[in-house]
Structure 1
Amino acid sequence: MKLKFGLYGCTFLLYALSFAQSESKWQSLFNGQDLKGWRQVNGKAPYVAKNNEIVGTSVLQSPNSFLATEKEYGDFILELELLVDTLMNSGIQIRSKSAAEFQNGRVHGYQVEVDPSKRSWTGGIYEEALRGWLYPPELNPAAPKAFKTLQWNKIRVECIGNVIRTWVNGTAVACLIDAETAKGFIALQVHSTDDPLRAGKDIRWRNIRIQTENLKASPYDDIFIVNTIPNNLSPAEAKNGYSLLWDGESATGWRGVRQNKFPENAWEISHGELTAVKPSGAGSPEGDIVTQKKFKFFELKFDFKLTKGAQSGIEYLATESGRNKEPKGLEYQIIDNSDPEAKMGTGNRTQASLYDLLPAKKNEKAGRKTGEWNQGIIRVYPNNKAEHWLNGFKLAEYTRGSAEYLAWVDASQYKSLKNFGMAKEGRILLQGNGGHVSFRSIKIREVSF
């Protein structure tokens, strides 16, 4: 009996030690008593340790304030709980920096948004002082429903390699694949305010813990993925049904309009970019390229970059008919909005508009400077609905065949084309009709939605 008890006791002890070692992977970033291990960067908002919480208070006319870890972290899993006043805005900096050579030490880097407003974008990914919104939660319809107003909310952040993922109260909010910053500090933000009504408001953090070793990523989910790495198809994107429509190296899968081959004199393939280098002139199909394959219902993702005064477009559901077999399809307008062409019509020739039919919504957050890369999305649904997105924001949506749509067509340059835009399937077409326009990371997912 003693021998059996001893073996049982040893087994139990080994199990307990194993469990303890597993639990020990979590390290607390806050000791519950003081701010040891933290330092304030920028701003004048006070931070105090109180009742096992870190409390930050907004201050009138102070720049953004940050309580940053003294250590830097690269790959990690971070969990914390927060309770924020509805009149505040905040964020959690990850892999962030502060250096004298950058805007006199201004904090910059990835930020997990804390947004208790009606917009409820908590968990979205913003890049403080740099590129702005990288993953607006508008991309994920389930995200705004996850945050609980005036209650404790649990935030989880996984930074493993180039993949950054966030959760709010167990709901997946954002998935960003980006290679800009691999390591930096973690910081708790108190946002600036010029409104006296928003001053003196508190945000509270507790149970702040981190894992840095033997990290195990959460299983893939099906939320939208923003991938800024050129021509990279991540395992998560592949699992969700995406494929590269352009391989980043060759003309495979594409041909010229009214041609059996790719127009090498009109397009340049170099450094992972597909660039129109011989403009054909507005209204001419010469130099345009189309996919070999036809598509019905899909989500098309693509990056594009413009030179000043350039214009192009992506036509979809394009069909080749008529004597000249010139493809005609619905067009996602690509243009420098300072170009005179963008000011024509009723606003329906601006960036991301449904060309000559529906103007894109005005949204300053969606804009990028000329020469910077943009990310576009075109979605075509089986119920004839379609959407145009730019840099994470939906700027146009419509229903093919609706009374409204038919009225737009009747008032457009397409009015003489029978059943324009109503094809059941068609090709994807890239225009090369004005200035240098470059494309990359062209991906498609055929779905039924």
Structure 2
Amino acid sequence: MIRIGILVLFFIGCLYTATAQEPKMKKAFNGKNLKGWTVPENNIWWSAKDGLLLAQSGPKKTGNILWTEKNYKDFIIETDFKYGEGTVDTGIFLRNEDQQIQMGISGSLKRDMTGSPYIPGKSYPVEAEGVADVLKPKDWNTIKVKAVANVYTVWINGTEVLNFESADVPEEGPIGLQLHPGNEMQVSFRNIRIGEIK
């Protein structure tokens, strides 16, 4: 009986831990406007229409980052994305500009590095695995990023492609979507959802 009791408690503990790591996901984009995001001054890069968030390079190709108004500690962000015209170099910033998960073509490596972490000064410390097998370059894809302290886990279309332990990670900060400078490009996002891990 004691052994069974211990097993039951162990199972409940595992279930609780799994539940605690999978938060309730909430819409971070209403599909109509940029409410909830810090819109840059003289915005020419970001627009919302028919459920899509469109990032479009400007004539000077200066690039831009669209940040959430809210700061997050541990969280999951999930979004559908679709590459458009041009050389798409985008990504998701995690709490600041020094922690990023790349999406699209790396400007330095000149190849697709979707799902890989980019750290300024360290480039790509590791590369996401198996992305070419699951990524649909001309169709909609889904990326899911879990950030728990300094550990990042990334899924592309439901397949885990990265588990990475970073360094010099801030305790909290906003989440950003990138439009990389120097490129002519379009990328669309939809169904952006964020869940806070307590």
TM-score (structure 2 length as normaliser): 0.77
Quick one: distance in 2 between partners of 1:202 and 1:131?
27
Does residue 93 in structure 1 map to residue 93 in structure 2?
yes
Measure the CA separation in 2 of the matches of 1:191 and 1:154: 20
Give the match for residue 203 of structure 1: 187
Check whether the contact 1:84–1:203 (CA below 8 A) recurs between aligned residues: yes
User: Hey, what's the Cα distance between the residues in 2 that align with 1:120 and 1:147?
Assistant: 10
TM superposition shift of 1:87:
2.3
- Work out whether 1:154 is the aligned partner of 2:138: no
Deviation per residue, 1:407-445 (Å, 9 max, x gap): xxxxxxxxxxxxxxxxxxxxxxxxxxxxxxxxxxxxxxx
Q: Using the alignment, how far apart are the partners of 1:72 and 1:54 within structure 2?
A: 20
Residue in structure 2 matched with residue 136 of structure 1 by the alignment: 127
Shift of residue 149, structure 1, vs aligned partner: 1.1
AA paired with 1:47? W
1:162 positional shift? 2.3
Kindly state the Cα deviation for residue 120 of structure 1 after the two structures are TM-superposed. Answer: 2.6
CA distance in 2, matches of 1:44, 1:32: 17
| Structure 2 match to 1:82 | 81
Amino acid in structure 2 at the alignment position of 1:49 = A
What's the counterpart of residue 69 of structure 2? 70
Please report how far the alpha carbon of residue 180 of structure 1 lies from its aligned counterpart in structure 2 after TM superposition. Answer: 1.3
Shift of 1:48: 0.7
Find the aligned partners of 1:132 and 1:125 in 2 and give their Cα distance: 8
Which of residues 115, 125, 136 in structure 1 aligns to 2:117?
125
What are the residue-to-residue correspondences of 1:252-291 with 2, within 5 Å? Answer: none
Written as runs of structure 1 = structure 2, the 5 A alignment for 1:35-434 is 35-40=34-39, 45-85=44-84, 87-96=87-96, 108-115=97-104, 119-127=111-119, 129-137=120-128, 140=129, 142-181=130-169, 182-193=171-182, 199=184, 201-214=185-198
Give the count of matched residue pairs: 172
Please tell me whether the aligned partners of residues 143 and 173 of structure 1 are also in contact (alpha carbons under 8 angstroms). Answer: yes
Larger Rg: 1
Amino acid at match of 2:92: I
SS in 2 for 1:144: helix
Amino acid in the other structure paired with 2:125:
L
Unaligned runs of 5+ in 2: 1-21
Q: Distance in 1 between matches of 2:165 and 2:194?
A: 21
Deviations 1:247-301 (A, max 9, x none): xxxxxxxxxxxxxxxxxxxxxxxxxxxxxxxxxxxxxxxxxxxxxxxxxxxxxxx
Q: Is the 8 A contact 2:23 2:197 kept in 1?
A: no
Superposed displacement of residue 161, structure 1: 2.4
Q: Is the CA contact (8 Å cut-off) linking 2:79 and 2:190 kept in structure 1?
A: yes
Higher-RCO chain (CA-CA 8 Å, sequence separation at least 6): 2
SS of 2:30 mapped into structure 1:
coil
Q: Distance in 1 between matches of 2:42 and 2:135?
A: 27
1:114 positional shift:
0.9
- Structure 1 counterpart of 2:168, which letter? E
CA contact (8 A) 1:42 1:64 kept: no
Runs of 4+ in 1 over 6 A off after TM superposition: none
1:391 maps to: none
**1: CA distance between counterparts of 2:46 and 2:197?**
29
Q: Distance in 2 between matches of 1:211 and 1:156?
A: 11
% same residue: 31
